[in-house]
Amino acid sequence: MIYDPALEPLIAEQREAQAALAGGPPPAPLFVLPAAELTLPGAPALKVRIIRPIGAIRGALLHIHAGGFTFGTPAMADGGNSELARASGLAIVSVDYRLAPEHPHPAALEDCERAALWLLAMAKTEFGTERLLIGGESVGASLAVLTLLRLRDKYDAARRFCGANLALGNYDFSGTPSQRHSTPALFLSPERLQATVSAAFPGRDAEALRDPGISALYASLPGLPPAIFSVGTQDAVLDDSLYMAQRWQAAGNRAELQVYPQATHQFLLLRTAMASEGRRRIATFVSTCLAAGPAAA
């Protein structure tokens, strides 16, 4: 069994909520903290959306939103980011990266790299802390890992982040088995997965998509911060998290894998006991990372 048996009593409610959603948008968040936008210096113009916790700031997290590279904004994650800010004392800095197909890869990654460098330079001034984390959902998690790899390889700075929150990520855009066996009944249907690849990585065949600068599963992974991987058993990218968590750990990094039974893609957005438990476990992991601090100053 790859998931915690204590989650089994929560399955029925989770299934009902997912069936009621039927591919539509998740319910609006119940609690949202105020947010402010900041334009970072340099060109092209790049905005970040900042949510501050109530009370003392314990750390800052660079957040990268979902949307298959083709849609979405930082504002759509205000609910989840507000909850994490309140639970962990984090300031959340969410990147409004450029979208495909108008801006294919590596535009989004370049924007995330630039935002990460700004946070590394300005966190002490803006937030009074140098305890940093990075994270995202779906392709946001994919971009978070690729950003860490760039920070490691270009600036020797990946370990200045004390943790990574990686939810529902896609780490092999050439297709893991769970992606290939996805069905239209799942949120991430084969058609949606292919649309993501075609928009963000036009003209690339399967082998080209295995470039470590695109599919992080094929990258060399030593020297990265502790990470929590969260995914549901009914998610088309289940294998991505299973494989990446093992490779993360094999490379000498700490990895925590949390698998949720019968949960589909983006289940963490729902108002269910299982989603609430998933968010609680993420907040606990984040708090542990903040207490430990970065591996390298």
- Decide if 296 is inside a domain: no
166 residue type, one letter: L
CATH number at residue 71: 3.40.50.1820
Into how many domains does the chain fold?
Answer: 1
> pLDDT tens digits, residue range 113-154?
999 999 999 999 999 999 999 999 999 999 999 999 999 999
- Decide if 297 is inside a domain: no
- Decide if 26 is inside a domain: yes
- Decide if 226 is inside a domain: yes
- Decide if 265 is inside a domain: yes
- Decide if 9 is inside a domain: yes
Q: How far apart are the first and last CA of the chain?
A: 39
> pLDDT tens digits, residue range 191-219?
889 999 999 999 999 999 999 999 999 99
Range of the domain at 146: 5-291
This prediction has a pTM of: 0.97
Residue 297 has pLDDT above 60, yes or no: no
